[in-house]
Amino acid sequence: MRMANKVGLVTAGASGMGRAGAITFAREGAAVAVVDINPEGAAAVAREIIDAGGQAIALSGDLRDDAFAGDIVKRTVAAFGGLDFAWNHVGHPGPSSFEGIDMKDYELAMDINVRSVFVTASHAVPEMRVRGGGALLFTASTSGIVGSPYSPVYSAAKFGVIGMTKSLAKRYAGENIRVNAVCPGTTDTPMLRVFVARPDMQLPPGETAESLVRKRAGLNPMKRPAQPQEIANAALFLLSDEASFITGVALAVDGGSTA
């Protein structure tokens, strides 16, 4: 088992890639805290893990709240005795607007994409130090590698997440704490529908969220969206000891779209 005896947390764990990751890490032997604003969703994923013979707890709250974003580390340690890894996966599409933008939309996207993961990571590091090392993983996006023309705030945030990753990787390499980012391309989750049909994106006549999802997915060389499990597989590798000499990378899992 690739995560035997490890303890970790996954934010945005009730759905999509986070759910796939939590279930995968648990299947590989980890005890996992499933963190999400959706209490029923988080509880269902934890229940699924426990029913399959694994170890999990559900932690429910809004990661925009600094106290909760830090507390999830303490509560994971209290439940399982330490912390070896954290997948800071939560994110938000943000507005499409630029000219005339409502700055409340900007703040919401920055708070979820950058601030909340920063806070969680800052609480995770001391606990990893106690264990003699650990692995942090952030979820950026291909929009953090190349500019996304209709998502200036999202791109700014995800480029920021990659900057944070590289800074922390250098800062903590000497303490055996590895810090990496995974950069999904178009991935088949509920957020993808929200992303393509944001209220301030005018859908072209005749298009629906679903038709735009298909078009967008068709733009990458593999001509399909990623499945959540394909991102979870990359997360598993980066968080496991198999990636023991890998730190500071932003790994695109995008069917070749940024090649």
Chain residues binding ligand NAD by CB under 6 A are 12, 14-18, 36-38, 41, 62-64, 89-91, 112, 139, 141, 184, 186-187, 189-192
Shortest gap between Cβ of 212 and ligand NAD (angstroms)?
A: 12
- Give me the least distance between CB of 234 and ligand NAD, in Å please: 12
Residue tagged 């291909």 (tokens): 142
Q: Which of 40, 33, 27 is nearest to 1 (CA)?
A: 27
The residue (of 3 and 235) whose beta carbon lies closer to ligand NAD is 235
Query: First vs last Cα of the chain: how many Å apart?
Result: 32
In the bound state with ligand NAD, the residue whose beta carbon lies nearer, of 120 and 247, is: 120
Segment 125-131 long-range contacts (CB within 8 Å, at least 24 positions apart): 125/168, 125/172, 125/177, 127/73, 127/77, 127/82, 127/83, 128/83, 128/84, 128/175, 128/177, 129/175, 129/177, 130/82, 131/82, 131/83, 131/84
The dihedral through the CA atoms of 18, 20, 25, 30 has a sign that is positive
The 3-state DSSP class for residue 200 equals coil
**Which residues participate in catalysis according to the annotation?**
154
Query: What's the min distance (Å) between Cβ of 184 and ligand NAD?
Result: 4
Q: How far is the CB of 208 from ligand NAD (least distance, A)?
A: 17
| Strands 55-60 and 85-88, bridge-based pairing | unpaired
For ligand NAD, give the closer residue by CB, 176 or 233: 233
DSSP-assigned states of every residue in 20-51: HHHHHHHHTT-EEEEEES-HHHHHHHHHHHHH
Among residues 36 and 127, whose Cβ is nearest to ligand NAD? 36
Q: Point out the residue whose Cβ comes nearest to ligand NAD.
A: 91
**Least distance to ligand NAD, CB of residue 66, Å:** 12
- Closest to ligand NAD by CB, 45 vs 243, is 45
Q: Which two tokens stand for residue 104?
A: 């409340």
